[in-house]
Structure 1
Amino acid sequence: MAAITAALVKDLREKSGAGMMDCKKALSETDGDIDAAIDWLRTKGLAAAAKKAGRIAAEGLVGVAVEGNTGAVVEVNSETDFVSRNDQFQSFVSTVAKLALTSNGDLDALNAMDYPGTGRTVADELTHLISTIGENMNIRRVQVLSVDGGEVASYMHGAIADGLGKIGVLVAATGADAASFGKQVAMHVAAVNPASLSRDDLDPELLEREKQVLTEQARESGKPEEIIEKMIVGRISKYFAEVCLLEQTFVIDGESKVGKAAEAAGVDIKGFVRFGLGEGIEKKQEDFAAEVAAVAGV
């Protein structure tokens, strides 16, 4: 029996695109013969996953899980929306969301975790799922939110099952009414998509970019620089009210600022996370007419 070294497993994984545990098993079954192992993987449908790796995956599901004062949210992408209705895929996303609770928001750590009941890692289970379902998939991102002495509330917009949908939100808060009020804030976050909790944690690059745009717009008015400076101050305050959660108008009542509503409820909002499915992914644009023309040789 040939020795199945880590280098041999790595070589087979690179050539086949199959998962580590599947590669190890293939080499064991074929006495360490790389070519025979590739054929073994092909017969099991496991090497096929590599052929799908280049396809754009912008559909799928967002999953959330909450346990105690910790919540996790993950995005798992697929090529088509049809896969999101697949029971195996839904089970995978739900399981990964629960595992993510102990990942500290580290995607590599999540991928390396043992997937329950399979003897495979999360990454290898995903490869197995790709081969089974026949579409490229990937765990795109993960984030974990915790709060000492408080609650993490969750909300899933467009839910198709418990904790699974298109927009997943976590809100961390403290106070006697943290759970129920946090849920309302999570619904607000899903609808409005704030950029930050407050002015203090707004991305400096976003703020600087906005200042540059507003400055150029003000200068086009032809007004003196001292007037322009005052205009910028007013417009930046308006910008904060648009993008900072605590300064936004609360969609639940349409009147109060979120921060004031929280204060009235005796709640202190500590943070939030919002994952919108496919945001930031450049989706492939299908041109059916061009495709038909190409096939017809026009």
Structure 2
Amino acid sequence: MAITAAMVKELREMSGAGMMDAKKALVENDGNMDAAIDWLRTKGLAKAAKKSDRVAAEGLVGVAVDGGRGVAIEINSETDFVAKNEDFQSLVREVAKVALQTGESIEVVKAADLNGDTVENVINGAIARIGENMTFRRMHLLEGETVVTYVHNAAAEGMGKIGVLVALNGPADKAQEIGKQFAMHIAATAPMSLSEATMDKDVVERELQVQTAKALEENATAAKPKPEQVIHNNIIPGRMKKFLAENTLLGQAFVINPDVTVEQAAKDAGVEITGFARVAVGEGVEKKEEDFAAEVAKTLAG
């Protein structure tokens, strides 16, 4: 029986399976829609797709490094319980290794080979086995003369709730030693950028507008208002300097020695920080909150 695009589209909508999987299911079952759905279910593909609307905001960040190249990936799950599952941890570890070797983008990694299958299919297989939605959400690659990694709240070696990469130039032994301290610093302080030069211009402009409006309003209600020139030439620039110092890695006070900035600590160690990445599980994911009664009502209504 000839398989048409309309048939593939219908099966995709009914099962949530991918286009190629839907087409293969129809071919294997001579166009029989019900049999194709059962085929997808037996392969775990329909089951995975049905879970795709559930929020995956837990999971793990996995890191891997090889000399001057490092990667941090985030694979999400629905519950923290799954993050403790050895099967899931193995998945994170293996995908991180593939990403380190082939990772130009998430799409490239998803299509890459992992034990004879694509990474995307391996993840779908894990969804079927473990029974929770999972999402390969983010990936950061970093290169430098030396790349150091750090994992906070580690669940297993090379993976945890926060993963950090730091790229440094300079003597490898010094870079490794202090690089670990810088990575821990980044995990704790979550800087927005490496330096003022690399910070998003829109973020800086928005902060400038906020600080300008705030300073002018405070001055308007002050018992002894300052000259407007003082506001614009001293107070606002001072506040912006403080904002940049607190939110750029090189400008922050080093947590190990708050008397010096991170930039100065790097210089004192004879190294230069050229880049970093910090990935925290579930960062930016909006979790759906439903009480138990609402969840029961929703189930009964369905």
Q: Normalization by structure 2: what TM-score?
A: 0.87
Instruction: Tell me whether 282-291 or 65-74 shows the greater mean CA deviation.
Output: 282-291
Q: Does 1:285 align with 2:289?
A: yes
Whole-angstrom distance in 1 between the partners of 2:178 and 2:201:
29
The equivalent of 1:40 in structure 2 is 39
State the partner residue of 1:165.
160
- CA distance in 2: counterparts of 1:127 and 1:262, whole angstroms: 43
Q: Which whole-Å CA distance do the structure 2 matches of 1:7 and 1:292 have between them?
A: 36
- Range 33-42 or range 8-17, more displaced: 8-17
SS in 2 for 1:157: strand
Moved more, 17-26 or 130-139: 17-26
Residue 21 of structure 1, CA deviation? 7.1
Q: Is the counterpart of residue 152 in structure 1 residue 152 in structure 2?
A: no
CA distance in 2, matches of 1:227, 1:244: 26
Counterpart selection for 2:273 from 256, 260, 269: 269
In the alignment, the residues of structure 2 paired with residue 57 and residue 295 of structure 1 have an alpha-carbon distance, to the nearest angstrom, of: 20
1:237 aligned partner, one-letter code: K
TM-score by length of structure 1 reads 0.89
- Aligned-pair identity in percent equals 56
| Structure-2 residue corresponding to 1:255 | 259
Mapped to 2, the partners of 1:44 and 1:208 lie a distance apart of 52
CA distance in 1 between counterparts of 2:57 and 2:272 reads 35
Displacement after TM superposition at 1:224 (Å):
3.5
Aligned residues of 1:19 and 1:123 also touching (Cα < 8 A): no
Q: Which amino acid aligns with 2:230?
A: I
Residue aligned with 2:179, SS = helix
The alignment of Structure 1 onto Structure 2 pairs a total of residues equal to 292
The aligned residue for residue 70 of structure 1 is 69
Superposition deviation, residue 159 in structure 1: 0.4
Give the partner amino acid of 1:228: I
For 1:128 and 1:213, locate their aligned partners in 2 and report how far apart those are by CA, in whole Å: 49
Partner secondary structure for residue 284 of structure 1: coil
The match for 1:199 is 196
Alignment partners' CA distance in 2, 1:162 and 1:122: 21
Q: Is the 8 A contact 1:195 1:245 kept in 2?
A: yes
Query: Unaligned 5+ residue runs, structure 2?
Result: 221-225
Cα distance per residue 1:128-160 (max 9 Å; x no partner) = 11111111110111110011xx11000000001
Say which of 213, 218, 226 aligns to 2:229: 226
Structure 2 residue 126 is the aligned partner of structure 1 residue 133:
no
Q: Tell whether 2:246 aligns with 1:242.
A: yes
* Segment of structure 1 superposing worse, 59-68 or 19-28: 19-28
Tell me, in whole angstroms, the C-alpha distance in 2 between the residues paired with 1:228 and 1:216.
11
Taking structure 1 as reference, are residues 79 and 5 closer, same or farther at Cα in structure 2, changes over 3 Å only? same
RMSD: 2.7
